[in-house]
Amino acid sequence: MALRDIFKFRELPEGETSKPFLEHLEDLRWTIVKMAITLVAAMIVCLAFRSILVQVMQAPLHAVDPKVGGLRALGITDSFVISFHLAFYAGIVLSFPLLLYFIAEFVLPALTGLEKRFLLPAIFVSFALFLLGVLVCYFWLLPRTILFFFRDTESLGWTPTWTVQEYYSFATRFTIGFGLTFELPVVVLVLVRFGLVTYQFMARTRPYAIVLIFVLATIITPTPDILTLIAMGLPMCLLYESCIWISWFMQRRRSRSTSI
């Protein structure tokens, strides 16, 4: 059973009492409840500042061309639906450190004392990477992508008149998605910690990974602009390379500790 395989990572070291399966499920339920409450609270805070969120998300649009700034609301409930979507994505950014903490608290209860001391710094680094990805996308990739579609629309003789539903859906998912790609080193660190990924495997598959990264960058950023493609793919390649060295360091440290 998949859940049983996941719960194996939560088992305590030998000599200590391990929890039964139903108690693992109970812990999972409370973890989900805590994450949901945290996200809802963050959303409520963000809803109170929805006017500021709207101005922030439309800033890249105004920077491209003032003519595009006038988005059209075609639905009666667009103001409420868009506000809810913005609050949801902004709530993810705002509550991201706590969400990571709850996940780590559930998945990694069998950490050693030394590893637990590194838990909060690791969460801080993870949030910093996520925020860095969001900022890189917001200030660099998003304006260039909007500019491309704006010019492409005009080249066909059409007037770029976009709806609020389409714009905010594209901008928020694009930005959050790029921020999540910056979590790659953290994910690899966890996989290496559990022995699911090795340095040899990642080093051997490096050429294939680079090709897949640029294919993914092409899909996420469907523009023929080579600078935009490099701006999307190069950070992901550097992150993958950093993951290789992270896995090498962790394997070397583990082998040293076992040999002592």
**pLDDT tens digits, residue range 132-178?**
989 988 988 888 888 888 888 888 888 878 888 888 888 888 888 88
The total of other beta-carbon atoms located within 10 Å of residue 106's CB is: 20
Local structure of residue 109 (DSSP, 8 states): T
Residue 3 has pLDDT above 60, yes or no: no
Q: CB–CB of 239/181 below 8 Å? A: yes
Q: CB–CB of 150/35 below 8 Å? A: no
Beta-carbon contacts of 141 under 8 Å, excluding residues fewer than 6 positions away, are 174, 178, 221, 228, 231, 232
Q: Which of 51, 61, 59 is nearest to 82 (CA)?
A: 51
Burial classification of residue 68, based on how many CB atoms lie within 10 Å of its CB (0-12 exposed, 13-18 middle, 19 or more buried):
buried
Lookup: tokens for 241: 């390379």
Kindly tell me the sign of the dihedral angle through the C-alpha atoms of 247, 249, 255, 257.
negative
26-38 mean pLDDT: 89
For residue 163, what are the β-bridge partners? 72
pLDDT band at 42 (very low <50, low <70, confident <90, very high): very high
At which residue do the structure tokens 């990924």 appear?
Answer: 197
Q: Which of these ranges, 59-63, 137-141, 174-178, 256-260, has the smallest mean pLDDT?
A: 256-260
Q: Amino acid letter at 62?
A: H
pLDDT band at 28 (very low <50, low <70, confident <90, very high): confident
Burial classification of residue 76, based on how many CB atoms lie within 10 Å of its CB (0-12 exposed, 13-18 middle, 19 or more buried):
exposed
Residue 10 has pLDDT above 60, yes or no: no
Lookup: tokens for 237: 């390649």
The pLDDT, as a whole number, for residue 228 is 67
pLDDT band at 184 (very low <50, low <70, confident <90, very high): confident
The pLDDT, as a whole number, for residue 198 is 80
Query: Residues 106-136: pLDDT tens digits?
Result: 776 656 665 667 677 778 888 898 899 899 8
The pLDDT, as a whole number, for residue 15 is 46
CA–CA distance, 128 with 84 (Å, rounded to integer): 25
In order, the DSSP letters of 147-197 are HHHHHHHHHTT-----BHHHHHHHHHHHHHHHHHHTTHHHHHHHHHHTTSS
Query: Residues 194-245: pLDDT tens digits?
Result: 677 788 888 888 888 888 888 877 776 655 567 667 777 788 888 888 888 8
For residue 72, what are the β-bridge partners? 163
pLDDT > 70 in the chain, percent: 79
Q: CB–CB of 229/223 below 8 Å? A: yes
CA–CA distance, 11 with 15 (Å, rounded to integer): 11
Q: Amino acid letter at 165?
A: Q
Beta-carbon contacts of 199 under 8 Å, excluding residues fewer than 6 positions away, are 192, 244, 247, 248, 251
The pLDDT, as a whole number, for residue 2 is 47
At which residue do the structure tokens 């990805």 appear?
Answer: 133
